[in-house]
Amino acid sequence: MTDAQLREAAERQLRANLRRGVSTVNGKPYSFCVPSTITYPFQWFWDSCFHAIVWSHIDPEQAKEELRTLLRAQKRNGRIPHRIVWEPRPLYPYRFYLHSTSFRRPVHSRFVQPPLLAQAVEAVYRRSADRAFLEETVPSVERLYRWLARARDPDRDGLVSIIHPYESGLDHKPSFDVALRLAHPSGRAAVLAVRRLDIWNRLLGYNLPLIFFADRFNVVDVLFNCAYAQGIASLSRLWRELGDTARADDCRHWAIATEAAILDRCRGPDGLYYDLYSRHRRLARTKTVTALAPLYLDGILKDEARQLVHAHLLNELEFSLPYPVPTVAADEPSFDPAFRSPAASGLWRGPTWVSTNWFVVQGLLKHGFLDEARHIVARTRDLVEQHGFREFYNPYTGEPYGARGFGWSTLIVDMLASLETA
Ligand code: GLC
């Protein structure tokens, strides 16, 4: 398959996942891609950001529509839900009732997801040069980041907390086990612990001060915070593009301070970056792919980046497997490269996903690790070419798992394009 054929396949996939109409929930128009037609038939926040990044190469107008649809779900306070239902159904998966405060119509979850919105808007702008789109979206995009700073930084240290594993986008990532008070759980036990947390959050009515006071699950997720910092850096560039230098400078300082806080607070003695949990901000020292996420930051020092790459990413005992990058380092007790079912295995406990590879590749290119980036893109390309746009893959054999026709696996198109411009 040539790159051009791969791009056509990606376009066919995104078009197959496209949903358009006028919502009978609120009369608003919508136009977005579902992550997959059977497994995930609704809108998800960070999936839409990824879809827009891929659309920006194929059809920038559709990319704008995908992001406008997300912004139409924005709450007055600035938050955008992690999952949005545009067409109501008589009945939803039971989790939806736990993730919302409405039992009748749980159309919006109370969660957020890694804030990649500003990056997605920037990608669309870079390929469409549509200034009017920036004028239309940037103020609302900033409101999301301001809400996170206000509502999700209880100790005002510049880092934002998630209140549920699903907010990380990496649902059952084993670094959450310790925060969930589990010692070496099976995948099934990890999933059940998340359900118990659901019930708890629901009982607290998703009241954030109460949730932080109770301190049951309060995690500074490294990837979430890297997406936040880089989102604010994107915002700064977008404000500058719009000629508002005061706002641009303000966001620039904010982004630099956020990066510094991540690099300072999350770094472990082995040079990896770990999630922090509880109000005591303990390091959750499980080696997962998000421990490499600070490569995606502008401000990481050369030596620290080199250590991440040479001591960890390229280490065959940890992340350098035949189809990198596994979600969990191979020498972690929780590492499970295979997958049976969501309930039995949980998600993100070993297999390789295209979205996390996308972050790693962005980071490698940013800091000049061109050969390493080429290698990961080539292996990701092999996975997609051999098995199609699946949800995730076995890091040893490439065996595909989970949803078929999975939207964000088309990110390979963006990864190939970034190699060309590197
Ligand atoms: C899974 C993933 C999450 C994603 C969602 C929809 O729950 O863990 O990151 O947003 O599916 O694709």
- Residue ranges per structural domain of the chain: 3-421
The protein residue with its alpha carbon nearest to ligand 1, atom 3, reads 169
User: 47: CA distance to ligand 1 center in Å?
Assistant: 7
Edge-to-edge strands, sheet with 219-220: 219-220, 275-277, 282-284
Contacts 24+ apart (CB under 8 A), 148-155: 148/112, 148/115, 148/228, 149/254, 151/77, 151/79, 151/208, 152/112, 152/208, 154/212, 154/218, 154/279, 155/279, 155/281
Atom of ligand 1 minimally distant from the CA of 46 = 10
Token pair belonging to 100: 């919302």
Q: Which of 13, 47, 113, 404 to mutate to test the pocket of ligand 1 (most atoms within 8 A of CB)?
A: 47
**Sequence letter at residue 290:** T
Instruction: Say what the pLDDT of residue 104 is.
Output: 86
Q: Is the CB of 347 under 6 A from ligand 1?
A: yes
Q: Which residues pair with 284 in a beta bridge?
A: 275
Token pair belonging to 80: 């955008």
Q: Is the CB of 81 under 6 A from ligand 1?
A: no
Q: What is the dihedral of CA 255, 256, 262, 267, to 10 degrees?
A: 150
Instruction: Say what the pLDDT of residue 148 is.
Output: 98
Q: What are phi and psi of 412, to 5 degrees?
A: -55, -30
CATH number given to 3-421 = 1.50.10.10
In terms of phi and psi (left: phi > 0; alpha: psi -120 to 50; beta: otherwise), the region of 22 is: beta
Instruction: Say what the pLDDT of residue 58 is.
Output: 98
Is the Cβ–Cβ distance between 114 and 223 less than 8 Å?
Answer: yes
Task: Tell me which residue has tokens 């082995």.
Answer: 270
Closest CA to 97 of 199, 23, 180: 199
User: 263: CA distance to ligand 1 center in Å?
Assistant: 26
Pairing type for strands 83-84 and 275-277 reads unpaired
Is the Cβ–Cβ distance between 354 and 409 less than 8 Å?
Answer: yes
Q: Would you give the distance in Å from CA 122 to the centre of its chain?
A: 16
Q: Is the CB of 125 under 6 A from ligand 1?
A: no
Tally the residues of the chain: 422
Sign of the CA dihedral 303, 351, 224, 144? positive
Instruction: Say what the pLDDT of residue 103 is.
Output: 84
Alpha helix ranges (H) inside 215-272: 222-241, 245-265
Task: Tell me which residue has tokens 């940037």.
Answer: 138
Instruction: Say what the pLDDT of residue 64 is.
Output: 98
Q: ∠ at Cα 268 (265, 272), nearest 5°? A: 105
Q: ∠ at Cα 79 (74, 80), nearest 5°? A: 50
Q: Is the CB of 35 under 6 A from ligand 1?
A: yes
Instruction: Say what the pLDDT of residue 277 is.
Output: 98
Token pair belonging to 162: 């998630």
Q: Taking each helix axis from N to C terminus, what angle separates 117-128 and 131-151, rounded to the nearest 10 degrees?
A: 170
Per-state percent for the chain, helix, strand, coil, to nearest 5:
55, 10, 40
Token pair belonging to 106: 């749980």
The protein residue with its alpha carbon nearest to ligand 1, atom 9, reads 169
**Sequence letter at residue 43:** Q
HSE-up (13 A, CA, CB side) for residue 296: 30
Is the Cβ–Cβ distance between 123 and 52 less than 8 Å?
Answer: yes
Q: Which of 44, 357, 389, 391 to mutate to test the pocket of ligand 1 (most atoms within 8 A of CB)?
A: 44
Atom of ligand 1 minimally distant from the CA of 348 = 8
Token pair belonging to 181: 């008070």
Task: Tell me which residue has tokens 């790159």.
Answer: 3
Average pLDDT along the chain, 422 residues, taken 10 residues at a time: 97 98 96 97 98 98 98 98 95 93 91 98 98 98 98 97 98 98 95 96 97 98 98 98 98 98 98 98 98 98 98 98 98 96 94 98 98 98 98 98 98 97 88
Instruction: Say what the pLDDT of residue 209 is.
Output: 97
Instruction: Kindly list the distances between the CA atom of residue 260 and the CA atoms of 159, 199, 227, 233, 254, in Å, as whole numbers in the listed order.
Output: 10, 35, 14, 13, 10
